[in-house]
Amino acid sequence: MELPRNGECPSKRTLALQIVHNRSARGLQGLIFTRDDRAGEGKLSSRLGLATDAVEAAPGMDLYGYVVEQLSGGSRVDYVIADEAQFLAPEQIDQLARVVDDLELDVFAFGITSDFRTRLFPGSQRLVELADRLETLQVEAMCWCGARATHNARTVGGEMVVEGEQVVVGDVDRPAVEVGYEVLCRRHHRRRMTSASAQAGVLSPDVLPVASG
């Protein structure tokens, strides 16, 4: 089970879709789990305009049981992809590990590790504990100051907030009065200095997808 970790949404989603494309070209069929995709329920999409059908991994859903059900019903499953894996419950991560160990299928889990408060998502923590391999994607997101962005910031009206629910759907495409997300370097995250509050232009549109809208 692999966890590619990344701070930039288009690259993460595009890589997942590339895995699907490459394996489809070899005649392999995958099962894709996703959660809260901006394109709607049961979709895996990229900001580049690519999209494919997926299975919404609802809270409490038995992912291992679902894969077994598909196989028992005659469906072909050669590999499994889990997008937005940070939103999965720890027990669902255990179920994905069981898919690898008991069903001998490759599982590719995509997600980020920490939230806007710099705390690990429970699902990501469990993935780090169980994954056979961790990979950090190389596409680099940048803070408004030009430094490497390492932290998520949740904003309301352009101002950074540090309290609230761990998961709130938002995006940089939303109006400023609504919830949005921006990536910052550690220094500016600590100072709660967003591009708006610093009256600086954002050098990169890349955001860490704490939640996708």
Written in H, E and C, the secondary structure of 22-40 is: HHHHCCCCEEEEECCCCCC
The SS3 assignment for 150 reads coil
Q: Give residue 105's pLDDT.
A: 97
- Strands (E) across the chain are located at 2-5, 30-34, 43-45, 51-53, 55-56, 79-82, 106-109, 133-136, 151-156, 159-161, 179-184
Separation CA 42–CA 23 (nearest Å): 20
Question: Out of 2, 41, 69, 84, which one is annotated catalytic?
Answer: 84
Q: Give residue 122's pLDDT.
A: 94
135 given a catalytic annotation:
no
- What tens-digit pLDDT sequence spans the chain (213 residues)? 654 443 434 467 678 888 888 898 899 999 999 886 555 566 676 655 566 788 999 999 999 999 999 999 999 999 999 988 999 999 999 999 999 999 999 999 988 888 888 889 999 999 999 999 988 765 567 888 888 888 888 888 878 888 777 666 544 444 445 778 888 999 999 999 998 888 644 444 444 444 444
Q: Give residue 203's pLDDT.
A: 44
Helix 122-130 and helix 90-103: axis angle, to 10°? 30
Beta bridge partners of 160: 155
The SS3 assignment for 133 reads strand
